[in-house]
Amino acid sequence: MVWANMALHMAADPQGLLVHWHRMLAHDGFLMFSCLGPDTLLQLRSVYRAMGWPEPAHSFTDMHDWGDMLVGAGYAEPVMDMERLTLSYSSPERLLEELRGLGRNLHPKRFPGLRSRLWRQQLVSALSGAAGGDGPLELTFEIIYGHALKPQPRLPVQGETVFSLDEMRRILHQVKRDPAPT
Protein backbone atom coordinates (compact mmCIF):
# COMPACT_ATOMS: atom_id res chain seq x y z
CA MET A 1 0.00 0.00 0.00
CA VAL A 2 1.13 3.53 -0.75
CA TRP A 3 -0.46 6.26 1.37
CA ALA A 4 0.40 9.81 0.26
CA ASN A 5 -1.33 12.51 2.26
CA MET A 6 -0.99 16.04 0.82
CA ALA A 7 2.28 15.30 -1.00
CA LEU A 8 1.40 14.80 -4.66
CA HIS A 9 0.60 18.46 -5.45
CA MET A 10 4.09 19.46 -4.25
CA ALA A 11 5.91 17.04 -6.58
CA ALA A 12 7.90 18.58 -9.44
CA ASP A 13 6.98 15.59 -11.64
CA PRO A 14 3.68 14.15 -10.35
CA GLN A 15 3.26 11.75 -13.28
CA GLY A 16 6.74 10.39 -12.66
CA LEU A 17 5.90 9.98 -8.98
CA LEU A 18 2.74 8.01 -9.84
CA VAL A 19 4.81 5.72 -12.08
CA HIS A 20 7.40 5.30 -9.30
CA TRP A 21 4.69 4.34 -6.81
CA HIS A 22 3.24 1.91 -9.37
CA ARG A 23 6.64 0.18 -9.64
CA MET A 24 6.88 -0.01 -5.83
CA LEU A 25 3.48 -1.67 -5.39
CA ALA A 26 2.91 -5.40 -5.58
CA HIS A 27 0.16 -6.64 -7.89
CA ASP A 28 -3.23 -5.87 -6.31
CA GLY A 29 -1.44 -3.18 -4.29
CA PHE A 30 -3.42 -0.11 -3.29
CA LEU A 31 -2.63 3.61 -3.69
CA MET A 32 -4.43 6.24 -1.62
CA PHE A 33 -3.66 9.94 -1.80
CA SER A 34 -4.94 13.41 -1.09
CA CYS A 35 -3.76 16.69 -2.57
CA LEU A 36 -4.84 20.25 -3.20
CA GLY A 37 -7.10 21.05 -6.16
CA PRO A 38 -7.47 24.09 -8.45
CA ASP A 39 -9.99 25.94 -6.26
CA THR A 40 -7.40 26.22 -3.47
CA LEU A 41 -6.61 29.79 -2.34
CA LEU A 42 -9.22 31.43 -4.59
CA GLN A 43 -9.52 34.46 -2.29
CA LEU A 44 -5.77 34.96 -2.02
CA ARG A 45 -5.36 34.61 -5.79
CA SER A 46 -8.03 37.29 -6.23
CA VAL A 47 -6.18 39.69 -3.90
CA TYR A 48 -2.88 39.12 -5.72
CA ARG A 49 -4.57 39.66 -9.10
CA ALA A 50 -6.16 42.91 -7.87
CA MET A 51 -2.75 44.13 -6.68
CA GLY A 52 -1.11 43.23 -10.02
CA TRP A 53 1.20 40.68 -8.37
CA PRO A 54 2.22 37.26 -9.74
CA GLU A 55 0.32 34.21 -8.49
CA PRO A 56 0.72 33.36 -4.78
CA ALA A 57 0.98 29.64 -5.57
CA HIS A 58 1.43 27.28 -8.48
CA SER A 59 -1.61 25.88 -10.28
CA PHE A 60 -3.11 22.73 -8.81
CA THR A 61 -4.32 19.79 -10.90
CA ASP A 62 -8.01 18.97 -11.35
CA MET A 63 -9.27 15.65 -9.97
CA HIS A 64 -10.31 14.43 -13.42
CA ASP A 65 -6.75 14.95 -14.65
CA TRP A 66 -5.42 12.98 -11.65
CA GLY A 67 -7.73 10.12 -12.65
CA ASP A 68 -6.41 10.23 -16.22
CA MET A 69 -2.82 10.25 -14.92
CA LEU A 70 -3.54 7.20 -12.76
CA VAL A 71 -4.84 5.26 -15.76
CA GLY A 72 -1.88 6.42 -17.86
CA ALA A 73 0.52 5.19 -15.16
CA GLY A 74 -1.05 1.71 -15.26
CA TYR A 75 -3.44 1.82 -12.29
CA ALA A 76 -6.87 0.22 -12.43
CA GLU A 77 -10.24 1.30 -11.07
CA PRO A 78 -9.30 4.83 -10.01
CA VAL A 79 -11.82 6.56 -7.77
CA MET A 80 -11.65 10.31 -7.30
CA ASP A 81 -13.53 12.64 -4.98
CA MET A 82 -13.12 16.17 -3.70
CA GLU A 83 -14.41 18.59 -1.12
CA ARG A 84 -13.99 22.30 -0.50
CA LEU A 85 -13.10 23.51 2.96
CA THR A 86 -13.38 27.18 3.88
CA LEU A 87 -11.18 28.27 6.75
CA SER A 88 -11.75 31.54 8.61
CA TYR A 89 -9.01 33.68 10.12
CA SER A 90 -9.31 36.41 12.71
CA SER A 91 -6.56 38.56 11.16
CA PRO A 92 -4.36 38.81 8.06
CA GLU A 93 -1.36 38.00 10.27
CA ARG A 94 -2.98 34.71 11.40
CA LEU A 95 -3.80 33.81 7.78
CA LEU A 96 -0.21 34.48 6.66
CA GLU A 97 1.17 32.50 9.61
CA GLU A 98 -0.89 29.47 8.59
CA LEU A 99 0.12 29.79 4.92
CA ARG A 100 3.78 29.94 5.94
CA GLY A 101 3.32 26.65 7.80
CA LEU A 102 1.63 24.95 4.84
CA GLY A 103 4.53 25.18 2.43
CA ARG A 104 5.96 27.26 -0.32
CA ASN A 105 5.10 28.90 -3.61
CA LEU A 106 6.21 26.61 -6.43
CA HIS A 107 4.97 28.90 -9.21
CA PRO A 108 7.73 29.20 -11.86
CA LYS A 109 7.17 32.97 -12.13
CA ARG A 110 7.05 33.67 -8.38
CA PHE A 111 8.90 36.68 -7.02
CA PRO A 112 12.56 35.56 -7.01
CA GLY A 113 13.80 37.56 -4.01
CA LEU A 114 12.79 38.59 -0.53
CA ARG A 115 9.81 40.90 -0.14
CA SER A 116 10.03 44.21 1.72
CA ARG A 117 8.19 45.37 4.83
CA LEU A 118 6.24 47.78 2.61
CA TRP A 119 5.05 44.88 0.44
CA ARG A 120 3.96 42.96 3.54
CA GLN A 121 2.04 46.01 4.78
CA GLN A 122 0.33 46.26 1.38
CA LEU A 123 -0.59 42.57 1.53
CA VAL A 124 -2.00 42.86 5.05
CA SER A 125 -3.99 45.94 4.02
CA ALA A 126 -5.31 44.21 0.87
CA LEU A 127 -6.32 41.13 2.87
CA SER A 128 -8.10 43.32 5.44
CA GLY A 129 -9.98 45.04 2.63
CA ALA A 130 -10.94 41.69 1.09
CA ALA A 131 -12.65 40.70 4.34
CA GLY A 132 -14.95 43.69 4.06
CA GLY A 133 -13.80 45.22 7.32
CA ASP A 134 -16.04 43.39 9.81
CA GLY A 135 -16.11 39.79 8.60
CA PRO A 136 -13.45 37.16 9.08
CA LEU A 137 -10.91 36.44 6.38
CA GLU A 138 -11.68 33.25 4.52
CA LEU A 139 -9.59 30.91 2.38
CA THR A 140 -10.91 28.02 0.33
CA PHE A 141 -8.97 24.76 0.12
CA GLU A 142 -10.06 22.16 -2.43
CA ILE A 143 -9.00 18.73 -1.19
CA ILE A 144 -8.84 15.93 -3.75
CA TYR A 145 -8.94 12.30 -2.65
CA GLY A 146 -8.02 9.39 -4.88
CA HIS A 147 -7.35 5.71 -4.77
CA ALA A 148 -6.53 3.02 -7.31
CA LEU A 149 -5.19 -0.52 -7.60
CA LYS A 150 -2.17 -1.95 -9.34
CA PRO A 151 -3.81 -4.70 -11.40
CA GLN A 152 -2.56 -8.19 -12.09
CA PRO A 153 -0.63 -8.30 -15.37
CA ARG A 154 -2.75 -9.24 -18.34
CA LEU A 155 -1.80 -11.58 -21.11
CA PRO A 156 -1.28 -9.79 -24.40
CA VAL A 157 -4.10 -10.38 -26.86
CA GLN A 158 -2.79 -11.08 -30.34
CA GLY A 159 -3.58 -13.34 -33.23
CA GLU A 160 -0.81 -15.63 -32.06
CA THR A 161 1.00 -15.59 -28.73
CA VAL A 162 4.13 -17.62 -27.97
CA PHE A 163 5.01 -18.63 -24.39
CA SER A 164 7.88 -20.70 -23.12
CA LEU A 165 6.97 -23.79 -21.13
CA ASP A 166 8.20 -22.14 -17.91
CA GLU A 167 6.08 -19.06 -18.62
CA MET A 168 3.01 -21.22 -19.25
CA ARG A 169 3.56 -23.07 -15.94
CA ARG A 170 3.86 -19.76 -14.08
CA ILE A 171 0.66 -18.42 -15.67
CA LEU A 172 -1.28 -21.61 -14.95
CA HIS A 173 0.02 -21.70 -11.37
CA GLN A 174 -1.10 -18.08 -10.87
CA VAL A 175 -4.60 -18.87 -12.20
CA LYS A 176 -4.91 -21.82 -9.76
CA ARG A 177 -3.96 -19.56 -6.80
CA ASP A 178 -6.27 -16.70 -7.83
CA PRO A 179 -9.47 -18.24 -9.17
CA ALA A 180 -11.85 -15.91 -10.97
CA PRO A 181 -14.72 -14.60 -8.81
CA THR A 182 -18.06 -16.28 -9.40
Q: Parallel, antiparallel, or unpaired: how do β-strands 2-5 and 30-36 relate?
A: parallel
Rounded to two decimals, what is the model's pTM? 0.78
What are 66-101's pLDDT values in tens digits?
999 999 999 999 999 999 999 999 889 999 998 888
What is the C-alpha separation between 177 and 182, in angstroms, rounded? 15
Q: What is the pLDDT of residue 113?
A: 79
Q: What is the pLDDT of residue 108?
A: 74
First to last CA, the chain: 26
Q: What is the pLDDT of residue 112?
A: 78
Dihedral sign, Cα of residue 128, residue 130, residue 134, residue 136: negative
What is the C-alpha separation between 69 and 79, in angstroms, rounded? 12
Query: What residue ranges define each of the domains in the chain, with the CATH number in brackets?
Result: 2-177 (3.40.50.150)
Q: What is the pLDDT of residue 144?
A: 97
Whether the CB-CB separation of 9 and 132 falls below 8 Å is answered with no
pLDDT at 20 over 90: yes
What are 28-53's pLDDT values in tens digits?
999 999 999 999 999 999 999 999 98
